Structures are given as C-alpha cells and as structure tokens.
Chain A
C-alpha cells in the first residue's frame, strides 16, 4: 500500500497581516494543491488521504470549493477526505456543495465507518464540530481482518499544545487501535510519533503550503508506504510549497550593518515567491539613512510581500554627523533635541530627525 498523506490545505485562508498580498497567498495554496496531485502522480501512489481542514472555513466562496474538487478529481485514483475542525460537517458546510457528488473518485467520509481502500481498510474519524474534547479515534475497533489497517484523524496529539486540547489524540492512538498508520491533520508542521520500538506509526503531514512566518517544517506532503500488515511504514516528506516566508531580525550596532541587511535581502533567491518580514532595531548611522529607503523600495518591488519595521531603530547618539551636517543654529538645536530627548515616542522623534536631514539635504546650500 502506498498513499499520499496531506491535510490542512486551509483553502480560502485569511492573511490579514499581508494586506493586499493575501490574495496571492491564497492563490498559491490552490497551486500547491495542484502540485500535491502532481506529486501523487509522480510517486505513483494508490490513493490520497486528506486529513481534514481542506478549507479554512465552511463559508468560503463556493467557487473555491469547485476548484478544490476539480483539483482532487484530477487525481486518477481515489481520494479520501475527512472534515476537519475548520470545515466540520455541519449544515451549510462546504461538503454540501454539489461538486462532491460529481467527483466520482473523491470520497468525503462523513461516518465513523471503516472503508475499504486499495490494499487495506481505512478507519476515518470525521469532525462534526469546531471544538471537542473527545478523542476522535476512540471508535476504531481494535480487531481487523488481518489486512493493513490505517486511520485518518484530525486533532491534537497529547502534549503538542497544552492550551488547545481540541480533539485530543493519545500519543499511542495508532498502537491502541492496532493501526499500521494513523494519518493526522490539524497542525501545520510535519511531525511523526513513534512507538517504543522507534517506529513511527502516526504522523502529521503538515500543511502543503506554509501559512505564516515561523512555521517550521511546513509545505510538505507525506508519501507513506506499508508493505504488509504490521510492517513499519516508510514515511517520506516531499516538498510541495512554493512560497518562502523569510523573517529577518537584526539589531544594528555598527556602520555597515544596514548595508548587510540590504545585501542579504538582495541575495534571497526567488524573491517573486518570497514574503519577507524585516525588523530592525538598534542604531542608525546618518550616512546610512538612504539605505532605509532603498530597502523599503526593494521590499515593495521585488517580493510578494514585504514588511519593514524600523520602529525600534534610533539615530546613533555617537554619530555626530546627524548633527554636524546640519546648519548651525536653530536647525541643529532642533536636531539635537530630537536625538537626545525624544519625548514620548522615540520612533516619531527618530523619524522627525530623518525628515529634518532629508529636508536639509533637499535645500540648496
């Protein structure tokens, strides 16, 4: 038995922090879905398992539902899908869409009833509500017919997050239920859970396309191969994501630090598929002021999305050129005051000082 395990596509996902770039991010998630099918085809899997949260919400645009069904339907073999806590099986859900009925190879499993899959039996654990404290795998019977037994569930393995025990799944759920493999969904990072003998029989595939900055080990699907009942599964993560989410945080202390930041940005590959979050703190040199604008321009022009946080950046008090380059008298006094006594908002004071320097630079001497 060879199958592709994926989940948490979160189609229609909100990316409020990305502003107008959110639409691009959402589109990429659909494209990543197509790459999942491509991966499935290229790895010659028997079937697909989608372990919940195919959609971000049951109220997504119905066109998206059709698109997803079309994507899944483009796979030659069966696709088994369970609802997750983002798209639970409730009235008005995405699962009511007529498209599902027309996709003959896509099976949305609504009941806790075993299903024959190529090479074995699948025990699905569909989700019917957004939150629950029930172990979704508890219904799985421990006895089978001797064939390969796999399960598909959506929830939180105990110990992953203490503050969100939605659909708690014991760490040894696969073992308890006598499953050869338990395909998990809910968390967006790839992770496996091994039995005491070191064999992983449970895994999160993670989301097929990264959803936010700092999300480690995401953007993958899993190719799982089980040779026979009781045999340890071979789990192979395959990257399907295209977008890179790069967070850069620097504390500037010396002359040239800012330039190096810009150089680093310029060195990033594939900026057209990269989102960048740059956060600078520390000291700004007067002659590097123009670099800030440059960086801002690079971020705005090359990348899918760029955020440039300089709120914690301050004019370097040791760099007297902030002051000496300014005309004597009131202007210089004002500059010193802005630098040395920023008042309630040092960010505004720093910005004011930079404005002043910009104006002085503009005025012909």
Chain B
C-alpha cells in the first residue's frame, strides 16, 4: 500500500485544511520545525487507515483543536493492489467514514461507515487490529512499517503480523489451527511437567506420580508379606528339623536303654565273679601270712643263735686288751710333761732378744739425726752467702744513678721538643747561600752571626738570619734577603725552655746525651737484673721459711744427738754400724723363735698322743660294756623264741605244710582272675556310662520337644495369618499398579516426546524464517555501522534480541549497545522486515524523526540504505532536520511550514 496524499483539517494544530502530497513511490521528506505538526500529520494518517471513525475516548478527544469544538477530518489517497482508493473520515462530531475507489478515472463510493473502517484496515493486515489504536500491537503490519517518534525499537510483534511475515517468507507457517494445537499440546505437557521439564510434584503432580507412590507402598506391603511368608517357611523347616532332632534323640534314648539293660545283666555276673575272687584272694593272703610268720621265726632263731656265739667271742677279746691300754697311757703322760718343761725354758730367752733390737734401733736414729744436722747446717751456710751477694748487688745498684724508663721517655720528649724548636728556628730563619766562583769574603751585616765570613770558590756559604739577612760582598754587592716575619723568637724561647728542662732532667745523670743516657739506663737495668737474680736464689734456698727456722731445727737435732751419746758415749767417736746391730738382733730373735716353736710343737704332739690313747682306753671300756649287754640280750631273745618248746625240725615241718596250702590258694585265685579278665571294659563303668548317656538322650529329647512345641506354636500363629494368600494379594496389587504405571508412563513419555518434537520443529521453522531477516538486517547494519556488532539475532516474533560480535562469538544483549547503534540496529531490522512484507506489494514505511542519536558519518550511510530501500518501498520521513537528507538524490521534500502558510 502506498499513499498519494493526505489532507487534514480541524486536527489539533491544523485549523485550516492542509494537503501534503502527491507522494512519490520512493523517498519523501516532510520537514518542518518542532511543533509544526509533523507527528500530528502522521497520527492523522494512522487514524485514517487504522482507526474506527466512531472511536471515542480521551485520546480521540485530544485531536480536536484546542479550545475549539471542531470535528477533526482526514482524507488519505492511497494505492493498493494497483487500485487507487480514497478514505475520508470525520471523528468525534458526526463521525463518518467513506471509502472510495477510483474507477474509470473517478472516485466511486465503495464503503462507508464501519464497513469503510474495516475494509481500509484489511488493506494493512489480513487480520484487522482490534480496538485500541493507541497500542502499536493493534496496528497490524504497520507495527513494523510505521515508526512514530521515539518508537524505533521493536518489541514483540503481534501473532498475526508474525504469521504474515512468516507466510510471506514462505516458511512453514502454521495454519489457523496451529497455534491452538500447539497451545493444547503445551497444556497437556504442563499438566504433567514443569516448565523446566521435570515431572510435577506436590498437589499439581500428575496421576503418574500418585500411581508411583501407591506402587511404592504396594511394593513395601509386598515385601512385608513376603517376609512373613519366608518366616512361615523358615518356621516350618525349623519345626521339621526339631521333629527330626527329637525323633533322633528319642531313638538314641531307646537304643541306649537297650544297651543299658544288657550291660546291667553283664555287670551282675561280673560282680559275682569279683566277690568270689576277693574271697580267694583273702585266703591266699592268710596262707602267705602264716608262711611268712613261720619262716621268719625259724630264721630268727637261727640268726639269734649265731649272733650270740659271736658276741661271746668279742667279749673275751675286749677283756684281754684292757691292761695294755693302761700302760700306754702312762708313757704318753711322761712324754708330754718333758716337752712342757723345754718350752718354758725356751721362752726365758725373750728378754735378750728385745734388748738387741732396742740397741739397733737407737743406733739408726742416732745416725739419722746426724745426717739431718749436717744437711741443715749446709743450707744455713748457703743462705748466708746468698744474703751477702744480694746486699752487694743492691749496693752497686744504689751507687749507679740511671734514668728509669719513664724518665728516659720524658728526656726523649724534651730532646724532641728541643729539636723541633730548633727546626722551627731554622725554618723561620732566612737563609742566604752564596756560592762564589772565586775565593773571597762576605760581611754579614745582619743575620744570626754578623761579621766577615770567608768564601771559597765553589763552596756554598749560608748566612742565616731573621727577619732579614744582609750581607755585603765588598765591591761587589750588598745582598739582602728577607722573608715573612716569623716567630723565631717564640721558637727560640721554646728551644731555651726545652734546654732548661733537659738540663734539669739530665743533671743527675751527668750527661744530656741521649745515647749516653740510654747506656746508663741500660746499665741500671742490668744491675736491677742482678739484684733480682740474687734475691731469687735466696728465696729458693729459704723455700718459704726463714733463716731462724732453719737454725732452730739444727739446734733440735743437736740436742737429740747429744742424748744418744749419753747412753752410748762410744758413738761420739765412732758411729754405730746399724746394719751389724740389726743383724745381731735378728739372729737372736730367730734363734729364740726357733727354740720356742720346736718346744711347742713337740709338746702339742705329746699331748695329742696322750689324748688319743686316753680316748682309746675309754672306747675299749665302752665296748666291753656293750658286748656284755649284747650277750645277755641275745641269750634272752633266744630263750623267748624257743619258749613254745618246739624244736627246729618241728618248725620246719610246719613251714612246709603252710607253703603247700598257700600255693593251692594262689592257683584257685588265678583261675577266677582269668575269668574276670575276659570282660574287656569294666562292666560297671559301662553301665554308669550308659546311664549317663541315657539321661543325656532323654534331656535332649525333652529339649527338642520343648523347642518343637514352641516353634509349632509360632508356626501356627504364622499359618493362621495365611501369609501366602496375603502375599498373593500384594503381588497382584503390585502387578496391577505396575501395569497402570507403565500405561501412564507411556502416555507421559508420549506427551513429552510430542511436546519436544513440536518444540523442535517450531524452533527449526522459526530459525528458517528468521534467518533471512537476520541476514538482511545484519547486512544493512554492517553497511551503516561496520562489522563490529556482528550478526543480529531475532526472536520468535522477529524482535531483535541480541547481537553476536565476530570477535567473541557470544550473544550480547542490545542494552550493551550505544543509543546510536541501537537506532541503527532497529532501523536495519525494520527495513529487513519491511522488505519481507513488501514482497507482494510495495508498502509504505513512515519514519517520524528517527536516528536522532546517529552521528553524521553513519547517517550518510543510512541515507544510502534508504535510497536503495526506496526502490522497493515507499518511504516517508518526517524530520525537523531536512539538511540531513539533502544528499538524497531522488527524494521529494515537503516543507510543511510552507504548506501550512
């Protein structure tokens, strides 16, 4: 649909009728300053083509010129499908609408009133918008093509426009019933699943969830029933085992009882045999005892007789030995007395021995004392010599006056000061050196020394003085030398002071020559060293003691020596030979000891012999007594043994008889023992064992029975519950629920598959449809803004949603773009959509003051795009900046202000 012209009257600011047009098929620019009425004109266009003429409300009332009660009017001429139409509408007061179509060069009435409204709207969209022109979703395809001021952005388009676009893109557009079908599918899906694809839970849960819960409960119940059934089976087996056990125990008990009976019979016979055996054994024992007694008596009688004979012999022997022993005792006593006397005599020699020892000891001490005396005297002599030597050294030293080290140091310093002073004096003096070429003389007029001085050729002659030196060489020259005024007097004073000090220090030594002084000092040191050495020697000799102490000690030794001489005066002449005296004393002692020891030994021996013999005598007496007693005893015993009057032969006969009786009893005993040995195990023990076994078997049988009774009761309790039947019911219930769950799962999965499939198909379809729009819009945007923003992505309803910059290949939302870029993006998208919508028929695009944020550079590129688009679309631009569009070659400009005027 393209418009040719628009005429407006009594519409907001347009009191007088104005007509704008005719518009070309391509670009038309309506320009005017702000507030002139560009947007009002656009509004009038929209109401003419889209609104109902009878519409009321505040929005419509607002189009009435301010303060006037006029009915707004608009007339639009347009072309659609090659036909020219004219729609004229009056709003508010006496609203009316008239649609005309040009036929044969004249406009003929086509429709009026509501019909005119509807037919006009249908031109812009197959599904005319509903009421509410204020909302752009109600504009049909004009949502895309017509852009009011500030509304360049595209929000979601209405479904019909989307369908139109899709159908125009020849995509797999849905038919009229696709939307409801998809909606129903979605409803079915959402009945079961949440938006995130999970099975619903809670109160909105689908039947499948409840079925599964019930199935779970049924499975739990089945498990419980199964457990009960298993318990029943186990109890049955247990009872069977216990019965078997009881039966076995009973059987064991019965067998044991049989064995016990047999064993008891055997044991009875055995007991009888044992009793018989015991009897015979007693008889054997009695016979044996009798035999032994007889035998014993006979043996005893024989031995007693024998012993008695021997005892008598012994007694005779002992009686003959008595006198011999007495004689021996006497001899031993005499011997012992003799040796005792010898010992006493030997002991008397001790006194002489002691005396000899005493003398030898005194001699030794006397000699030692003499030696000490001599030693101490020698030491005292050395000490006295050393004291004398020391005194001499000290005397020499006292005589020699020499400076000590400190004094020498001071003297050196003074000499240095003096020399320094002299040096400074020399330095402060002016020196005049004359080196004559020939001999002569010079007169020193002013200097240290004045007067004439000879000059020798080639020999330098110096003249010193201060503050000047004046010298005259007769008939030759008067020489004067001067220098800085120095302090030579100070130096001279210092020198004099040093000389004085030096003299004071060195006068005692007789020289002020340093070398001499050092020699003297050296000498003094040597003397000091000799004094020290002499002192050291003295101290060594004293060894920490004094001379008086040594003298005292010598006196002591002298006194001691004198005391020995009182007792042994000969020692004063000749010193005693201590060795000889020691030897004598030793000899005497040895002789004494030897004699004494010999005597003692002999005496001991004699006493021992005496003691031994005495003992033997005692023993002999004792034995004699014993022997007598023994003889008596044996005689009495023999008398007792033979008191029954029997002879020995008679006794032996009796013994023989007893022996035979004993043997007979033994034979009979062996017979019965042989019978008893045929019984292997002890039958009584066997009986006892079997009795214990029987008791145990009975106990086990009873226990088994008790357990069996208990388990039977338990089994009965379980069987009364009919566990198998209960299990059957639960299993059937579970199977039933499982079937229902399977059925429901199949249904649910089918719904999910259906939904997913439809969703996938829709996404693919949309992708197929939106791709051309995205491609075209992207190309246009890149022409305007370059490649930086990358690819435009549109949503299901073709609204731009994101861009995918080439640099990051990630979608970026549009709010990250600048205002100008967003303008350009939306314009590119609208133009792409407009191209689609304009495929079948050239469509009108209206842009009311868009691209306000676009810079000049990009705006120029936008112009190129618009020029190209104008080849396929009728583009009407409303602007207050006509200069921006002056570059468009084929655009038609309409100055609204001029038109109004």
Residues of A within 8 A of B (CB): 12-20, 22-23, 26, 56-64, 90-93, 96, 327-331, 333-334, 337-338, 343, 345, 347-349, 351-356, 359-360, 362-365
Asked if A363 and B184 make an inter-chain contact with CB atoms under 8 angstroms apart, the answer reads yes
Question: A349 contacts which chain B residues (CB < 8 A)?
Answer: 750, 753
Which of B716, B733, B757 is within 8 Å of A338, CB to CB? B757
Given contact pairs A327-B176, A330-B758, A356-B185, a sample of 17 additional A-B residue pairs in the complex whose CB atoms are under 8 Å apart: A16-B734, A20-B732, A20-B733, A22-B728, A23-B729, A91-B243, A92-B712, A92-B718, A93-B236, A329-B172, A329-B765, A330-B178, A331-B182, A351-B749, A352-B754, A355-B750, A356-B754
Docked complex Cα distance between A363 and B185 (Å): 10
Docked complex Cα distance between A354 and B761 (Å): 17
Asked if A91 and B236 make an inter-chain contact with CB atoms under 8 angstroms apart, the answer reads yes
**Shortest CB distance A55–B (Å):** 9
Asked if A330 and B765 make an inter-chain contact with CB atoms under 8 angstroms apart, the answer reads yes
Q: Mark B712-732, 1 if CB is under 8 A from A, else 0.
A: 100110111011111111011
Docked complex Cα distance between A355 and B749 (Å): 11
Is B232 at the interface (CB under 8 A from chain A)? yes
Question: A18 contacts which chain B residues (CB < 8 A)?
Answer: 732, 735
Given A328-B172, A333-B172 in contact, is the A91-B732 Cβ separation under 8 Å? no
Question: A353 contacts which chain B residues (CB < 8 A)?
Answer: 754
**Shortest CB distance A50–B (Å):** 19
Question: B236 contacts which chain A residues (CB < 8 A)?
Answer: 58, 90-93
7 cross-chain CB contacts under 8 A: A19-B739, A22-B729, A327-B178, A328-B175, A349-B753, A351-B750, A356-B185
Question: A356 contacts which chain B residues (CB < 8 A)?
Answer: 185, 754, 758
Chain A to chain B: the 7 pairs with minimum beta-carbon distance, closest first: A19-B736, A61-B722, A91-B239, A59-B724, A351-B750, A61-B725, A57-B724
Which of A20, A62, A92, A331 is within 8 Å of B232, CB to CB? A92
Is B35 at the interface (CB under 8 A from chain A)? no
Q: Mark B230-259, 1 if CB is under 8 A from A, else 0.
A: 001101110110010000000000000000
How would you classify the secondary structure of chain B's contact residues: helix, strand, loop or mixed?
helix
Asked if B240 and A90 make an inter-chain contact with CB atoms under 8 angstroms apart, the answer reads yes
Is B747 at the interface (CB under 8 A from chain A)? yes
Q: Which of B754, B760, B764 has the most chain A CB atoms closer than 10 A to its own CB? A: B754
**Shortest CB distance A225–B (Å):** 37
**Shortest CB distance A122–B (Å):** 27
Question: A329 contacts which chain B residues (CB < 8 A)?
Answer: 172-175, 178, 765
Q: How many residues of B contact A (CB 8 A)?
A: 58
Which of A16, A327, A352 is within 8 Å of B751, CB to CB? A352
Docked complex Cα distance between A93 and B720 (Å): 11
Given A92-B718, A337-B757, A351-B750 in contact, is the A12-B728 Cβ separation under 8 Å? yes
Which of A56, A59, A343, A360 is within 8 Å of B229, CB to CB? A59
Docked complex Cα distance between A365 and B177 (Å): 6
Asked if A338 and B753 make an inter-chain contact with CB atoms under 8 angstroms apart, the answer reads yes
**Shortest CB distance B787–A (Å):** 34
Asked if B724 and A348 make an inter-chain contact with CB atoms under 8 angstroms apart, the answer reads no
**Shortest CB distance B197–A (Å):** 16
Docked complex Cα distance between A363 and B180 (Å): 7
**Shortest CB distance B730–A (Å):** 10
Is B762 at the interface (CB under 8 A from chain A)? yes
Asked if A348 and B718 make an inter-chain contact with CB atoms under 8 angstroms apart, the answer reads no
Question: B751 contacts which chain A residues (CB < 8 A)?
Answer: 352, 355
Is B109 at the interface (CB under 8 A from chain A)? no
Asked if B735 and A352 make an inter-chain contact with CB atoms under 8 angstroms apart, the answer reads no
Question: A363 contacts which chain B residues (CB < 8 A)?
Answer: 177, 180-181, 184
Docked complex Cα distance between A261 and B572 (Å): 176
Asked if A327 and B175 make an inter-chain contact with CB atoms under 8 angstroms apart, the answer reads yes
Q: Which residue of A lies closest to B720 (CB)?
A: A62
**Shortest CB distance B650–A (Å):** 90
Given A330-B765, A349-B753, A359-B181 in contact, is the A92-B235 Cβ separation under 8 Å? yes
Question: B749 contacts which chain A residues (CB < 8 A)?
Answer: 345, 348, 351-352
Is B746 at the interface (CB under 8 A from chain A)? yes
Docked complex Cα distance between A355 and B736 (Å): 24
Q: Which residue of B lies closest to A56 (CB)?
A: B724
Q: Which residue of B lies closest to A93 (CB)?
A: B236
Asked if B715 and A62 make an inter-chain contact with CB atoms under 8 angstroms apart, the answer reads no
**Shortest CB distance B183–A (Å):** 9
Asked if A330 and B185 make an inter-chain contact with CB atoms under 8 angstroms apart, the answer reads no
Docked complex Cα distance between A355 and B181 (Å): 11
Is B200 at the interface (CB under 8 A from chain A)? no
Is B394 at the interface (CB under 8 A from chain A)? no
Which of A19, A63, A362 is within 8 Å of B722, CB to CB? A63
Is B188 at the interface (CB under 8 A from chain A)? yes
Residues of B within 8 A of A (CB): 172-178, 180-182, 184-185, 188, 229, 232-233, 235-237, 239-240, 243, 711-712, 715-716, 718-720, 722-729, 731-736, 739, 746-747, 749-751, 753-754, 757-758, 760-762, 764-765
Docked complex Cα distance between A134 and B178 (Å): 73
Given A330-B182, A331-B181 in contact, is the A60-B724 Cβ separation under 8 Å? yes
Which of A23, A58, A348, A355 is within 8 Å of B188, CB to CB? A355
Docked complex Cα distance between A239 and B503 (Å): 175
Asked if A351 and B747 make an inter-chain contact with CB atoms under 8 angstroms apart, the answer reads yes
Asked if B240 and A91 make an inter-chain contact with CB atoms under 8 angstroms apart, the answer reads yes
Asked if A16 and B754 make an inter-chain contact with CB atoms under 8 angstroms apart, the answer reads no
Q: Which residue of B lies closest to A332 (CB)?
A: B172
Docked complex Cα distance between A360 and B184 (Å): 9
Docked complex Cα distance between A160 and B747 (Å): 43
Question: B760 contacts which chain A residues (CB < 8 A)?
Answer: 334, 337
Asked if A334 and B754 make an inter-chain contact with CB atoms under 8 angstroms apart, the answer reads yes
Asked if B724 and A12 make an inter-chain contact with CB atoms under 8 angstroms apart, the answer reads yes
Which of B239, B729, B746 is within 8 Å of A348, CB to CB? B746
**Shortest CB distance B230–A (Å):** 10
Question: A16 contacts which chain B residues (CB < 8 A)?
Answer: 728, 731-732, 734-735
Docked complex Cα distance between A360 and B180 (Å): 9
Q: Which residue of A lies closest to B736 (CB)?
A: A19
Asked if A19 and B735 make an inter-chain contact with CB atoms under 8 angstroms apart, the answer reads yes
**Shortest CB distance B208–A (Å):** 14
Asked if A348 and B753 make an inter-chain contact with CB atoms under 8 angstroms apart, the answer reads yes
Question: A345 contacts which chain B residues (CB < 8 A)?
Answer: 749
Asked if B185 and A359 make an inter-chain contact with CB atoms under 8 angstroms apart, the answer reads yes
Docked complex Cα distance between A355 and B748 (Å): 10
Question: B747 contacts which chain A residues (CB < 8 A)?
Answer: 351, 355
Docked complex Cα distance between A19 and B720 (Å): 25
Docked complex Cα distance between A364 and B734 (Å): 41
Q: Which residue of B lies closest to A15 (CB)?
A: B732
Given A92-B715, A334-B757 in contact, is the A64-B725 Cβ separation under 8 Å? yes
Docked complex Cα distance between A328 and B734 (Å): 44
Docked complex Cα distance between A327 and B237 (Å): 69
Docked complex Cα distance between A331 and B747 (Å): 19
Docked complex Cα distance between A64 and B724 (Å): 11
Asked if A343 and B753 make an inter-chain contact with CB atoms under 8 angstroms apart, the answer reads yes
Question: B723 contacts which chain A residues (CB < 8 A)?
Answer: 59
Question: A60 contacts which chain B residues (CB < 8 A)?
Answer: 722, 724-725
Asked if A14 and B761 make an inter-chain contact with CB atoms under 8 angstroms apart, the answer reads no
Asked if A328 and B732 make an inter-chain contact with CB atoms under 8 angstroms apart, the answer reads no
Docked complex Cα distance between A16 and B219 (Å): 13
Docked complex Cα distance between A331 and B734 (Å): 38
Question: B739 contacts which chain A residues (CB < 8 A)?
Answer: 19
Asked if A19 and B732 make an inter-chain contact with CB atoms under 8 angstroms apart, the answer reads yes
Asked if B735 and A17 make an inter-chain contact with CB atoms under 8 angstroms apart, the answer reads yes
Q: Which of A63, A334, A362 has the most chain B CB atoms closer than 10 A to its own CB? A: A334
Given A19-B735, A19-B739, A329-B174 in contact, is the A360-B181 Cβ separation under 8 Å? yes
Q: Which of B725, B764, B765 has the most chain A CB atoms closer than 10 A to its own CB? A: B725
Docked complex Cα distance between A96 and B243 (Å): 15
**Shortest CB distance A315–B (Å):** 12
Asked if B172 and A20 make an inter-chain contact with CB atoms under 8 angstroms apart, the answer reads no
**Shortest CB distance A10–B (Å):** 11
Docked complex Cα distance between A250 and B736 (Å): 24
Asked if A327 and B732 make an inter-chain contact with CB atoms under 8 angstroms apart, the answer reads no
Question: A58 contacts which chain B residues (CB < 8 A)?
Answer: 232, 236, 719, 724
Q: Which residue of B lies closest to A348 (CB)?
A: B749
